[in-house]
Amino acid sequence: MLAEREAIGERRGERPLALLDDVMSELDAARRGRLVELIRAGGGQTLISTTEVDHVPGAADAGVTRIAVAGGSLLQEAAAA
């Protein structure tokens, strides 16, 4: 998926938005960290859905916006500068 995103980005001149739906629950801690490194190095925007924010390395870092869904509403939980 990351290679496909890169190829599309080269063709269009900008990286497309990537959506990773609950991928962190399928990975161990080392692979989670590596995935986040690859996402950051690749540029563009990535949306990661998760039921456990603690499973996303760097979720509280600068430049990360966290959004919670509660009672059918989207709530901006944290926006780091």
Q: Which two tokens stand for residue 9?
A: 């980005």
Instruction: Write out pLDDT tens, residues 26-35.
Output: 999 999 999 9
Under the banding of pLDDT at 50, 70 and 90, the label for residue 62 is confident
Q: What are the residue ranges of helices labelled H in the chain?
A: 2-12, 29-42
Q: Is residue 76 scored above 90 in pLDDT?
A: no
CA–CA distance, 73 with 30 (Å, rounded to integer): 33
Q: Which two tokens stand for residue 75?
A: 């709530």
Instruction: Write out pLDDT tens, residues 9-42.
Output: 999 999 899 999 999 999 999 999 999 999 998 8
pTM > 0.85: no
CA–CA distance, 70 with 50 (Å, rounded to integer): 14
